[in-house]
Amino acid sequence: MKLTRGAWHALFAIGIALAMGLSLRNGFVYDDVAAIVNNPRVTDHAQWHTVLRSPYWLGTLWRPFTVALFAAQWLVGQGSPWLFHFTSLLAYFAVAVILFRLLQRLGVDQNIAGGAVLLFLLHPVHVEVVANSVGQAELWTTLALVTATLVYLRARQTGTERRWLPVLLFVVTVGIMSKEQGFVAPLLLGAAEWLLLGQGRQPVRARIRLLVPVTALTGLLFVVRGILLNSSIGETPAVALHGLGPAGRFVTFLGVIPEWARLVVWPIHLQADYGPPGIPIGSVMMLRHWLGFALLTAFVVLFVHHRRGTPVAAFGLLWAAIAVAPVSNLLTPTGIVMAERVLFAPTIGLAIAMAAILPAAATRRSGGAVLAAVAVGWGVLLTVRSAMRVPTWSTQERFYTDMVVDAPMAYRGWLVAAKYWDDAHDHPRAIAELQRAQELWPHDHGVAERLGQIYRQDGHCDAAIPVFTAGLREDPSASSLRAKLVECLIVAHEWGKAGQTASDGVALGQEEFRAEQARVGRFRVAADSAR
């Protein structure tokens, strides 16, 4: 039975309600607090005029469209989180509708297209995007990329390039101003031109008529972004990636691939943080990396296989590769080793590939019935897992409690949770989690600084000194950590070590420690005089 377009839209809405609907009960959690609640460009209308020229809430990210929509939702809902979550659900539905239209434009049977979109919507790997308000950045940029592809194909196939060019440029701009992955738009459209429209004998000029202005606009916005933020890099690299060259990042990337594959195929276990030592960092090849290399090779072989026989499938696979490239750490180190949210845009490509490949299996004898049964069973499992995962983002306490339970082998998860408990004045719990983070990954001086500072605040400089010292060995350039160590050494009357620590800072070019040298000297003289 062939369902109508309206029926499929209704199924999309029902699927979203069942899988993600509980997110309406969620509050502001994790990055929501910094990006929305504590962001004056969102909460203070007097600062709205600075949104376009200002960074996102941290680093050198530039997402003015996302921030502007946050501000609008804050104003309309008077700071209530339910409106943010309702908006995310609407955006998720919009992604589904446009993806459905795109698949039909690509010639996929309506029922197959609807089934592929429904499975995409139910997938638990998307919970982090939909259940967490800051996930709107992924939603808007992905919606823009899918819409741009649909507009591009329609314009090229109908010969109405001039009519659709303003719309295309506007949509691409929205995607870029929503999140950095929007910058891949020219590559995705170029892939569509090459794989889906390249069989004709049109002259080169006709084939690049839309690609040239889109590419020019993308380049212009990249320059504008660099001028406004005084940086061309997306964000501060993760500590675990510091010092890694291209070879080390490639090997790390190979170690991430099996995790991506597991999350796409069997997302039973989900976690809010991924990193070392659970995901190994560096250039030493282990079994995990060889498995990643095998999966990468299989992916390339699959693309080549479908390149001529099933170009829509090849396009979907290439979409996935292009969409994941900016967050793969191959081109440049990013602020994460891996995260579930970054798979949102790539899984659009996998949905396209699946929708193109499945009809071949369905045409075999009894293949259609078996395929439908498998899809229904898998869909039920995905729905249940998604609905169970959504409450993780319900409250701060629930989130940070679940974080370390779900990701026991990701040191940064323990660090982030410890920061929350520290801010909540639960020092024993914060200390325990920081100690666990240090055991897992002793190379992040930030763990030592946070742990030592708690000891220091509690009046235990004797415990803080060895912790600060270990952290400074990991990163001698950490001036704030060095300053805290000097303070504790002064408290402990370890004048020689305090002076030497300050002198080492001066030798590294940290001129502020010249004053600390003199200060240590004065304290030492005063102490000697008091004897």
- Distances in Å between the alpha carbon of 43 and those of 120, 130, 163, 274? 33, 22, 39, 31
Burial class (CB in 10 A: 0-12, 13-18, 19+), 391: middle
Residue 364 has pLDDT above 70, yes or no: no
pLDDT at 199: 64
Q: How far apart are CA 304 and CA 219, in angstroms?
A: 30
State the Cα–Cα distance between residues 279 and 460, nearest whole angstrom: 34
- pTM for this predicted structure: 0.94
Res 525: pLDDT: 75
- With a cut of 60, say whether residue 187 has pLDDT above it: yes
Kind plus residue range of the DSSP H or E element containing 49: none
- Please name each of the domains of the chain with its CATH number: 5-393 (no CATH), 410-529 (1.25.40.10)
pLDDT for residue 243: 86
Share of the chain above pLDDT 70, in %: 96
Rounded-to-integer distance, Cα 397 and Cα 236, Å: 27
Within 96-137, strands assigned E span none
CA distances from 430 to 80, 435, 438, 459, 464 (A): 29, 9, 12, 16, 14
- Residue 361 has a pLDDT of 64
pLDDT digits (tens, 9 = 90+) for 450-476: 999 999 999 999 999 999 999 999 999
- Per-residue pLDDT band at 138 (split at 50, 70, 90): very high
User: Where does the pLDDT of residue 417 fall: very low under 50, low under 70, confident under 90, or very high at 90 and above?
Assistant: very high
pLDDT for residue 105 is more than 80: yes
